[in-house]
Structure 1
Amino acid sequence: MTTSVTPPAAAMEIRMTMLHATRGKNFWSLRPVTRMDLAVGAYDDISSAAVPGFVDSLVGAMPGLVEHRCSIGERGGFVLRLRRGTYAPHIIEHVALELQTMMGHDVGFGKTRGGDVEGEYTLVFEHEHEQVGLRAAALALQTVQQAFDGVLEAVDAAVTELKAIAETPDTPRLHHRVLCGVTGGSGRAEAQRLLRERLADDGALVIDVSPSFLLQAGLPYARSEMAIILDAELTDVPPRYQEAERATQLVNVLADAVDRDGMVVCPAKAWEIQDYARESGCRIAVFATDDDVTGRDSRRARAVALVRDGRIVVQGCGDDEDHGPLDPTLPATSQVAAALAHATLSVECGR
């Protein structure tokens, strides 16, 4: 049984700390999403079931919430979660989606996750129109604050406002193609420059995509012919995204934009990265900064690059090819990956 409480003013406790939209493929989804970070104060410990009248007030104003299946997986699932007790960030996510549904947009994807600090959360949700999504986030926060404070009457004004925003021009979606995106914890700029030099084309669209940019804004392009993932040892993102599983998920976003049968250049023994690229319909080429490339790597890869006696050797693009000595003043990973990427663009590697 849930004990009722007299909650503090939600308008003072639940605060937005960040709000932005992604235009391209991103950590959360292949679709554009709105992201909002929240600090919930005392409401970290106050559930929907603990505040008398909260659920009836919210569902009365937004009866369409009964259609939200939530993790229960059936109609009414989210309302059941409300009555059993769920928390402000999760509720705001669903309200943001329902506000958009009420004004005519077909959206359904959303996620809520805890942040690095107790009482801080990140929520993301799908949008059809970027400015509608951003405003829906703020209006959802306001709606849930009012419901907790016992002053919610209706959301008609919010829906009317969103409809008006939807009539304005949307932010253009990303459509442009690039040759190659490069990501990883270090060595991106060097790999970008070295690949351009090998291509003898300073204007080649080889894009350095930092993990921090990828997390905040998503990919800055729509499609690519290939991708280079140098590693998943990230330092420019919050600690929870440096953990192996999330870091791998983040760098794998580059594979989402690679053309089917395009090439993903990635490290030897990075099985999760290799698996994701292959499952996404890409071919892989693997590299090592020594000669320790396993049979598992070789069987999966269209081409392999390794270092032997201080020189870069590429295997699998016809005969073994010597691609020159390692420069001790540059990151070895960048040099080997750039040489391999250039080699895989050749006819012999089935461009």
Structure 2
Amino acid sequence: MAQRDRFPDPKVEIRMTSLHSTRGANYWSRLPITRMDLTIGAYENISSADIPGFTQALVSAMPGLRDHRCSIGEPGGFLIRLKRGTYCAHIVEHVALELQGMIGHEVGYGRTRGGDTTGEYTLIVEHINESVGLRSAALALEIVQSAFAGTLNSVEHQVAELAALAETPVPPPLIQHLLCGITGGAHRSETRRELVRLGFTGPELIVDVSPSYILNAGLPYSRSDIAIILDAKLTDVPDYYRIPRRARRLVSVVADAVPEDGIVIVPAKEWEIQDMVRDAGCRVAIFATDDDVTSKDKKVARASATVEGRRIMIEQLDTSVEAGWLHDKAPVDAQVVATLAAYTLNEMLKPAEVSSAAGVAD
């Protein structure tokens, strides 16, 4: 015990700062996941290899950890990482997955990433049952704290609690199907109103979802016929996710709910977003608030919408049509992208499927 006394109290140093789950496609995965944010204090510099008996105690209580592959990519990989020395947040991730496995839930996806500040981490674990996922993450933290403190003997009670929790009813399913999902840093609601003005006012849902919501809860639906990404200039998320490559990844989550070969509308010159959308199996349509669409955009776009003077022009393959005129009651980008979305939906859907769909503007 004298050796343990020289280490800081893990229950003081290692603390959960937030815990929540996502049920739809999200920043990290298309799978439902549980997310925990941690601050680990002095344990930023204390690994599993630094604590005498840590690995033996943890694996004795949870023998299934021996089979975890981890980044080494084969059974026993995580055990090797423990012996060589790995850190608190990463260990909590694996323990949360193993706890779910011990009650028969076959989950395997997990990730641990550093935050904006040294000692802050976000860990992600897949779940089948939302309540079990949340509780397994919290219990995993307590188990790892006990292992660092040298007081871990068994996880029998934790497993029994999760098994009982698994019998509780699961939450109702997500909205299954939308006409269109919209995200971006600005003008989401204006774009939705423009689509309504263009005639999409029936029972089909058009949802604008903030990047902050996607980050914290995932998409609130499972499928949309098309999606719109207005921009990646985000103001409602932490600085860590405003970094351009992360912001682009975050807004591109809406593509994960669009069927394969479906269409996602993105800004011209946002080539990284265009690539992410295509990697998700979707086709790209692009828009600009002027007439500056590059050859690189046109190389991948199945259609484009631009502005010439006050006219909104849509080009598809070798055909160019005048699709409407700008007005002064909505932002230009909202008008252009809504016109392109209406044009796209009217191509995709039969008239009976879109109540009173008026198509493009008069």
By the TM > 0.5 criterion, same fold?
Answer: yes
Kindly state the Cα deviation for residue 318 of structure 1 after the two structures are TM-superposed.
Answer: 8.0
Secondary structure of the 1:181 match is strand
Instruction: Determine the C-alpha separation between the residues in 2 that align with 1:95 and 1:303.
Output: 48
Secondary structure of the 1:34 match is strand
Kindly state the Cα deviation for residue 347 of structure 1 after the two structures are TM-superposed.
Answer: 3.1
Map 1:1-351 onto structure 2 (within 5 A).
6-201=6-201, 204-316=204-316, 319-328=319-328, 330-347=330-347
Amino acid at match of 1:13: E
Kindly state the Cα deviation for residue 4 of structure 1 after the two structures are TM-superposed.
Answer: 9.0
Q: Is the 8 A contact 2:175 2:220 kept in 1?
A: no
CA gap 1:213/1:336 in 2 versus in 1, 3 angstroms: same
Q: How much is the aligned-residue C-alpha RMSD, in angstroms?
A: 2.0
Secondary structure of the 1:340 match is helix
Kindly state the Cα deviation for residue 261 of structure 1 after the two structures are TM-superposed.
Answer: 2.5
Instruction: Determine the C-alpha separation between the residues in 2 that align with 1:250 and 1:242.
Output: 9
TM-score normalised by structure 1 residue count? 0.94
Secondary structure of the 2:194 match is helix
Instruction: Determine the C-alpha separation between the residues in 2 that align with 1:53 and 1:268.
Output: 57
Kindly state the Cα deviation for residue 348 of structure 1 after the two structures are TM-superposed.
Answer: 8.4
Instruction: Determine the C-alpha separation between the residues in 1 that align with 2:307 and 2:85.
Output: 57
1:263-319 alpha-carbon deviations (Å, 9 max, x no partner): 111111212222222232322211111111112222322211001113211111884
Please, which runs of 5 or more residues in structure 2 have no aligned partner?
A: 352-362
Secondary structure of the 1:259 match is coil
Please, which runs of 5 or more residues in structure 1 have no aligned partner?
A: none
Kindly state the Cα deviation for residue 262 of structure 1 after the two structures are TM-superposed.
Answer: 1.8
Kindly state the Cα deviation for residue 13 of structure 1 after the two structures are TM-superposed.
Answer: 1.2
Instruction: Determine the C-alpha separation between the residues in 1 that align with 2:311 and 2:145.
Output: 63
TM-score normalised by structure 2 residue count? 0.92
1:138-158 alpha-carbon deviations (Å, 9 max, x no partner): 110000000000000000111
Instruction: Determine the C-alpha separation between the residues in 1 that align with 2:105 and 2:307.
Output: 54
Amino acid at match of 1:185: G
Instruction: Determine the C-alpha separation between the residues in 2 that align with 1:349 and 1:301.
Output: 20
Kindly state the Cα deviation for residue 84 of structure 1 after the two structures are TM-superposed.
Answer: 1.1
Instruction: Determine the C-alpha separation between the residues in 2 that align with 1:276 and 1:116.
Output: 24
Amino acid at match of 1:155: V
Moved over 4 A (4+): 348-351
After superposing the two structures, state which structure 1 stretch, 318-327 or 142-151, moved more. Answer: 318-327
Q: Is the 8 A contact 2:4 2:149 kept in 1?
A: no
